[in-house]
Protein backbone atom coordinates (compact mmCIF):
# COMPACT_ATOMS: atom_id res chain seq x y z
CA UNK A 1 0.00 0.00 0.00
CA UNK A 2 1.29 3.46 -0.89
CA UNK A 3 -0.12 6.98 -0.98
CA UNK A 4 2.01 8.88 -3.42
CA UNK A 5 5.72 9.43 -3.40
CA UNK A 6 5.98 11.66 -0.31
CA UNK A 7 5.16 8.84 2.09
CA UNK A 8 5.57 5.13 1.41
CA UNK A 9 3.15 2.81 3.18
CA UNK A 10 3.33 -0.95 2.93
CA UNK A 11 3.17 -4.18 4.90
CA UNK A 12 6.44 -6.10 5.03
CA UNK A 13 6.34 -9.39 6.84
CA UNK A 14 4.25 -8.65 9.91
CA UNK A 15 5.25 -4.99 10.02
CA UNK A 16 3.28 -1.96 8.89
CA UNK A 17 6.10 0.14 7.44
CA UNK A 18 5.85 3.90 6.87
CA UNK A 19 8.68 5.87 5.27
CA UNK A 20 8.65 9.66 5.03
CA UNK A 21 9.94 10.31 1.52
CA UNK A 22 10.58 14.03 1.03
CA UNK A 23 14.33 14.22 1.66
CA UNK A 24 14.63 17.33 -0.51
CA UNK A 25 12.33 19.09 2.01
CA UNK A 26 13.92 17.44 5.07
CA UNK A 27 10.90 15.12 5.08
CA UNK A 28 8.59 17.95 6.19
CA UNK A 29 5.16 16.53 6.97
CA UNK A 30 2.49 17.73 4.54
CA UNK A 31 -1.24 17.53 5.15
CA UNK A 32 -1.54 14.73 2.61
CA UNK A 33 1.21 12.74 4.32
CA UNK A 34 -0.47 13.09 7.72
CA UNK A 35 -3.84 11.95 6.37
CA UNK A 36 -2.27 8.99 4.56
CA UNK A 37 -0.35 7.90 7.66
CA UNK A 38 -3.48 8.10 9.79
CA UNK A 39 -5.43 5.95 7.31
CA UNK A 40 -2.64 3.38 7.29
CA UNK A 41 -2.54 3.26 11.09
CA UNK A 42 -6.30 2.71 11.17
CA UNK A 43 -5.86 -0.24 8.81
CA UNK A 44 -2.86 -1.69 10.63
CA UNK A 45 -4.49 -1.34 14.05
CA UNK A 46 -7.25 -3.74 13.05
CA UNK A 47 -5.20 -6.02 10.78
CA UNK A 48 -4.31 -9.30 12.55
CA UNK A 49 -1.48 -9.79 10.04
CA UNK A 50 0.31 -6.67 11.36
CA UNK A 51 2.10 -7.06 14.70
CA UNK A 52 3.90 -3.71 14.87
CA UNK A 53 4.46 -0.41 13.06
CA UNK A 54 7.84 0.92 11.94
CA UNK A 55 8.28 4.54 10.85
CA UNK A 56 11.49 5.84 9.31
CA UNK A 57 12.55 8.34 6.67
CA UNK A 58 14.48 8.56 3.44
CA UNK A 59 17.93 10.16 3.59
CA UNK A 60 20.48 10.57 6.34
CA UNK A 61 19.98 14.26 7.11
CA UNK A 62 16.49 14.37 8.56
CA UNK A 63 13.82 12.11 9.97
CA UNK A 64 11.35 15.01 9.77
CA UNK A 65 12.18 18.68 10.27
CA UNK A 66 8.59 19.68 11.03
CA UNK A 67 5.27 20.35 9.37
CA UNK A 68 4.87 21.87 5.93
CA UNK A 69 5.17 25.47 7.12
CA UNK A 70 5.29 26.89 3.60
CA UNK A 71 1.80 25.61 2.82
CA UNK A 72 0.44 27.01 6.07
CA UNK A 73 2.04 30.39 5.38
CA UNK A 74 0.89 30.60 1.76
CA UNK A 75 -2.73 29.83 2.55
CA UNK A 76 -2.70 32.03 5.64
CA UNK A 77 -1.44 35.05 3.71
CA UNK A 78 -4.40 34.77 1.34
CA UNK A 79 -6.76 34.97 4.30
CA UNK A 80 -7.62 31.27 4.20
CA UNK A 81 -7.39 30.35 7.87
CA UNK A 82 -9.48 27.20 7.53
CA UNK A 83 -6.68 25.26 5.81
CA UNK A 84 -4.31 25.68 8.75
CA UNK A 85 -7.00 24.93 11.32
CA UNK A 86 -7.96 21.76 9.46
CA UNK A 87 -4.30 20.79 9.06
CA UNK A 88 -3.60 21.17 12.76
CA UNK A 89 -6.81 19.48 13.91
CA UNK A 90 -6.19 16.45 11.71
CA UNK A 91 -2.48 16.31 12.56
CA UNK A 92 -3.26 16.41 16.27
CA UNK A 93 -5.72 13.54 15.86
CA UNK A 94 -2.89 11.57 14.24
CA UNK A 95 -0.59 12.37 17.17
CA UNK A 96 -3.20 11.17 19.66
CA UNK A 97 -3.74 7.96 17.70
CA UNK A 98 -0.01 7.24 17.77
CA UNK A 99 0.07 7.78 21.54
CA UNK A 100 -2.86 5.38 22.00
CA UNK A 101 -1.84 2.86 19.33
CA UNK A 102 -2.41 -0.66 20.71
CA UNK A 103 0.54 -2.28 18.93
CA UNK A 104 4.26 -1.51 19.19
CA UNK A 105 5.13 1.67 17.29
CA UNK A 106 8.85 1.86 16.53
CA UNK A 107 10.27 5.20 15.35
CA UNK A 108 13.77 5.52 13.90
CA UNK A 109 14.52 9.15 14.81
CA UNK A 110 17.67 9.45 12.73
CA UNK A 111 18.83 12.96 11.79
CA UNK A 112 16.84 16.17 12.35
CA UNK A 113 13.67 15.71 14.41
CA UNK A 114 11.65 18.87 14.97
CA UNK A 115 8.02 19.94 15.33
CA UNK A 116 5.80 17.63 13.32
CA UNK A 117 8.60 15.07 13.27
CA UNK A 118 8.37 14.85 17.05
CA UNK A 119 4.63 14.34 16.70
CA UNK A 120 4.93 11.22 14.54
CA UNK A 121 7.76 9.67 16.55
CA UNK A 122 8.00 10.68 20.21
CA UNK A 123 4.51 9.40 21.12
CA UNK A 124 5.43 5.87 20.04
CA UNK A 125 6.31 2.92 22.24
CA UNK A 126 9.88 2.41 21.00
CA UNK A 127 11.67 5.67 20.17
CA UNK A 128 15.15 5.16 18.76
CA UNK A 129 17.75 7.92 18.42
CA UNK A 130 21.20 7.77 16.82
CA UNK A 131 24.51 9.61 16.68
CA UNK A 132 22.94 11.77 13.93
CA UNK A 133 19.86 12.77 15.91
CA UNK A 134 19.28 16.49 16.47
CA UNK A 135 15.98 17.16 18.21
CA UNK A 136 14.38 20.52 18.95
CA UNK A 137 11.05 22.26 19.48
CA UNK A 138 11.89 25.76 18.14
CA UNK A 139 8.33 26.98 17.55
CA UNK A 140 8.47 30.08 19.78
CA UNK A 141 10.91 31.57 17.27
CA UNK A 142 8.24 31.58 14.54
CA UNK A 143 5.28 32.68 16.63
CA UNK A 144 3.97 29.20 17.33
CA UNK A 145 4.10 26.95 20.41
CA UNK A 146 5.58 23.46 20.87
CA UNK A 147 2.57 21.61 19.49
CA UNK A 148 1.86 18.07 18.16
CA UNK A 149 1.74 17.03 21.81
CA UNK A 150 5.03 18.78 22.48
CA UNK A 151 3.70 20.51 25.59
CA UNK A 152 2.79 17.09 27.00
CA UNK A 153 6.30 15.77 26.40
CA UNK A 154 7.92 18.93 27.76
CA UNK A 155 5.62 18.96 30.77
CA UNK A 156 6.71 15.45 31.69
CA UNK A 157 10.44 16.02 31.23
CA UNK A 158 12.51 15.94 34.45
CA UNK A 159 12.75 19.10 36.52
CA UNK A 160 12.54 22.29 34.46
CA UNK A 161 13.96 20.79 31.28
CA UNK A 162 10.58 21.23 29.60
CA UNK A 163 10.49 24.95 30.21
CA UNK A 164 14.07 25.26 28.98
CA UNK A 165 13.58 23.35 25.75
CA UNK A 166 10.20 24.92 25.06
CA UNK A 167 11.19 28.55 25.58
CA UNK A 168 14.61 28.41 23.93
CA UNK A 169 14.19 25.81 21.18
CA UNK A 170 17.57 24.41 22.23
CA UNK A 171 18.90 21.59 20.06
CA UNK A 172 19.70 18.32 21.78
CA UNK A 173 21.37 15.08 20.78
CA UNK A 174 20.60 11.45 21.52
CA UNK A 175 21.55 11.27 25.21
CA UNK A 176 19.64 14.43 26.08
CA UNK A 177 16.62 13.32 24.04
CA UNK A 178 16.50 10.16 26.14
CA UNK A 179 17.06 12.07 29.39
CA UNK A 180 14.27 14.53 28.52
CA UNK A 181 11.82 11.74 27.73
CA UNK A 182 11.57 12.23 23.96
CA UNK A 183 13.28 8.92 23.20
CA UNK A 184 14.10 5.60 24.83
CA UNK A 185 16.93 3.85 23.04
CA UNK A 186 20.24 4.68 21.33
CA UNK A 187 21.31 2.70 18.28
CA UNK A 188 24.40 3.72 16.28
CA UNK A 189 23.37 4.90 12.82
CA UNK A 190 25.61 2.28 11.23
CA UNK A 191 23.40 -0.45 12.69
CA UNK A 192 20.05 0.91 11.49
CA UNK A 193 19.89 -1.12 8.28
CA UNK A 194 20.49 -4.36 10.15
CA UNK A 195 18.00 -3.37 12.85
CA UNK A 196 15.36 -2.53 10.29
CA UNK A 197 15.87 -5.83 8.50
CA UNK A 198 15.59 -7.71 11.78
CA UNK A 199 12.41 -5.89 12.79
CA UNK A 200 10.79 -6.68 9.45
CA UNK A 201 11.90 -10.31 9.61
CA UNK A 202 10.57 -10.87 13.13
CA UNK A 203 7.85 -8.29 13.71
CA UNK A 204 9.13 -8.27 17.28
CA UNK A 205 10.60 -5.08 18.82
CA UNK A 206 12.35 -7.09 21.53
CA UNK A 207 15.17 -7.60 19.03
CA UNK A 208 16.10 -3.91 19.39
CA UNK A 209 18.10 -4.72 22.51
CA UNK A 210 20.63 -6.57 20.36
CA UNK A 211 21.56 -3.32 18.59
CA UNK A 212 21.69 -0.79 21.42
CA UNK A 213 24.66 0.89 23.07
CA UNK A 214 25.36 3.88 25.29
CA UNK A 215 25.05 7.26 23.55
CA UNK A 216 27.73 9.94 23.76
CA UNK A 217 27.27 12.01 26.91
CA UNK A 218 24.75 14.83 26.87
CA UNK A 219 24.51 18.10 28.80
CA UNK A 220 21.08 18.33 30.40
CA UNK A 221 21.71 16.17 33.45
CA UNK A 222 24.76 18.21 34.44
CA UNK A 223 22.91 21.54 34.36
CA UNK A 224 19.72 20.32 36.00
CA UNK A 225 20.19 22.34 39.20
CA UNK A 226 20.76 25.59 37.30
CA UNK A 227 17.77 24.86 35.06
CA UNK A 228 15.64 24.35 38.14
CA UNK A 229 16.69 27.72 39.49
CA UNK A 230 16.39 29.69 36.26
CA UNK A 231 13.22 28.20 34.81
CA UNK A 232 11.08 27.99 37.93
CA UNK A 233 10.14 31.67 37.63
CA UNK A 234 6.49 32.62 37.40
CA UNK A 235 6.84 34.59 34.17
CA UNK A 236 9.10 34.64 31.13
CA UNK A 237 10.58 37.87 32.46
CA UNK A 238 11.46 36.09 35.71
CA UNK A 239 13.18 33.33 33.75
CA UNK A 240 15.07 35.81 31.60
CA UNK A 241 16.32 37.71 34.65
CA UNK A 242 17.42 34.52 36.40
CA UNK A 243 19.46 33.49 33.37
CA UNK A 244 21.46 36.70 33.64
CA UNK A 245 22.74 35.55 37.02
CA UNK A 246 24.23 32.34 35.62
CA UNK A 247 27.65 32.75 34.08
CA UNK A 248 27.55 29.63 31.93
CA UNK A 249 27.64 29.78 28.13
CA UNK A 250 24.41 27.80 27.82
CA UNK A 251 22.57 30.38 29.95
CA UNK A 252 23.71 33.22 27.71
CA UNK A 253 22.51 31.34 24.64
CA UNK A 254 19.20 30.61 26.35
CA UNK A 255 18.68 34.27 27.17
CA UNK A 256 19.37 35.30 23.58
CA UNK A 257 16.98 32.66 22.28
CA UNK A 258 14.23 33.97 24.54
CA UNK A 259 14.92 37.51 23.34
CA UNK A 260 14.37 36.33 19.75
CA UNK A 261 11.09 34.57 20.48
CA UNK A 262 7.54 35.80 20.08
CA UNK A 263 6.41 37.26 23.43
CA UNK A 264 2.93 35.76 23.17
CA UNK A 265 4.30 32.37 22.12
CA UNK A 266 6.78 32.37 25.00
CA UNK A 267 4.19 33.32 27.61
CA UNK A 268 1.68 30.75 26.37
CA UNK A 269 4.34 28.04 26.11
CA UNK A 270 5.41 28.55 29.72
CA UNK A 271 1.81 28.24 30.87
CA UNK A 272 1.01 25.27 28.63
CA UNK A 273 4.06 23.21 29.60
CA UNK A 274 3.17 23.62 33.25
CA UNK A 275 -0.52 22.89 32.68
CA UNK A 276 0.37 19.70 30.81
CA UNK A 277 1.83 18.22 33.99
CA UNK A 278 -1.71 17.82 35.29
CA UNK A 279 -3.23 16.56 32.03
CA UNK A 280 -4.65 13.04 32.04
CA UNK A 281 -3.38 12.27 28.54
CA UNK A 282 -1.66 13.77 25.53
CA UNK A 283 -5.13 14.42 24.08
CA UNK A 284 -5.75 17.01 26.79
CA UNK A 285 -2.53 18.81 25.89
CA UNK A 286 -3.36 18.66 22.18
CA UNK A 287 -6.72 20.31 22.81
CA UNK A 288 -5.00 23.18 24.61
CA UNK A 289 -2.42 23.47 21.84
CA UNK A 290 -5.21 23.73 19.28
CA UNK A 291 -6.69 26.67 21.17
CA UNK A 292 -3.49 28.59 20.49
CA UNK A 293 -2.88 27.54 16.89
CA UNK A 294 -6.48 28.20 15.88
CA UNK A 295 -5.84 31.87 16.65
CA UNK A 296 -2.14 32.28 15.89
CA UNK A 297 -2.58 33.64 12.35
CA UNK A 298 -5.23 36.23 13.18
CA UNK A 299 -4.04 37.28 16.61
CA UNK A 300 -0.56 35.87 17.08
CA UNK A 301 2.83 36.15 15.42
CA UNK A 302 2.88 33.03 13.26
CA UNK A 303 2.76 34.60 9.80
CA UNK A 304 5.38 37.21 10.68
CA UNK A 305 7.59 34.62 12.33
CA UNK A 306 7.50 32.35 9.29
CA UNK A 307 8.14 35.28 6.97
CA UNK A 308 11.28 36.29 8.83
CA UNK A 309 12.66 32.78 9.39
CA UNK A 310 11.67 30.87 6.26
CA UNK A 311 10.29 33.09 3.50
CA UNK A 312 12.43 36.25 3.47
CA UNK A 313 15.02 34.81 5.87
CA UNK A 314 15.93 38.23 7.25
CA UNK A 315 15.79 36.84 10.81
CA UNK A 316 14.23 40.10 11.95
CA UNK A 317 10.58 39.47 12.82
CA UNK A 318 8.39 42.39 13.87
CA UNK A 319 6.45 40.52 16.52
CA UNK A 320 3.26 42.20 17.71
CA UNK A 321 2.39 43.04 21.27
CA UNK A 322 4.52 44.12 24.17
CA UNK A 323 7.23 42.41 26.12
CA UNK A 324 6.09 40.60 28.14
CA UNK A 325 2.73 39.55 26.67
CA UNK A 326 -0.24 40.68 28.72
CA UNK A 327 -2.15 38.32 30.97
CA UNK A 328 -5.28 39.16 29.01
CA UNK A 329 -3.68 38.11 25.72
CA UNK A 330 -2.50 34.80 27.18
CA UNK A 331 -5.97 34.09 28.55
CA UNK A 332 -7.50 34.89 25.16
CA UNK A 333 -5.11 32.70 23.17
CA UNK A 334 -5.73 29.74 25.49
CA UNK A 335 -9.49 30.12 25.89
CA UNK A 336 -11.96 27.79 24.22
CA UNK A 337 -12.47 28.71 20.54
CA UNK A 338 -15.86 29.95 19.37
CA UNK A 339 -16.51 26.64 17.65
CA UNK A 340 -15.52 24.67 20.73
CA UNK A 341 -12.50 22.54 21.47
CA UNK A 342 -11.41 19.96 18.92
CA UNK A 343 -12.82 16.47 19.40
CA UNK A 344 -10.13 13.85 19.12
CA UNK A 345 -11.67 10.55 18.09
CA UNK A 346 -9.31 7.60 18.24
CA UNK A 347 -11.56 5.30 16.22
CA distance 20 to 6: 6
Give the three-state DSSP class for 120: coil
Catalytic residues: 67, 116, 139, 147
CA distance 252 to 258: 10
CA distance 145 to 265: 6
CA distance 311 to 110: 26
Closest CA to 320 of 275, 283, 279, 267: 267
In 245-301, alpha helices (H):
249-260, 263-276, 282-293
Residues 6+ apart with CB under 8 A from 275: 151, 155, 285, 288
Give the three-state DSSP class for 58: coil
Residues 6+ apart with CB under 8 A from 156: 162, 181, 276, 277
Q: How many angstroms separate the Cα of 170 from the Cα of each of 47, 211, 236, 257, 265?
A: 40, 28, 16, 8, 15
Amino acid sequence: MSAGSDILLRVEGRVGHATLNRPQALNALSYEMAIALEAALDDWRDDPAVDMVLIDAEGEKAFCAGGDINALYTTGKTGNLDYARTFWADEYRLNAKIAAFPKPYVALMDGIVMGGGVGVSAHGTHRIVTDRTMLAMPECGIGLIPDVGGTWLLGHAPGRIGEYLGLTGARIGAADAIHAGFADIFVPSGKLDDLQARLIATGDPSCISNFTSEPPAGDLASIGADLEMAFSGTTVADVRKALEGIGAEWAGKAAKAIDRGSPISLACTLEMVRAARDDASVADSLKREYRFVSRCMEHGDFLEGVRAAIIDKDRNPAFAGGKPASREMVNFMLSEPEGGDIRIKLR
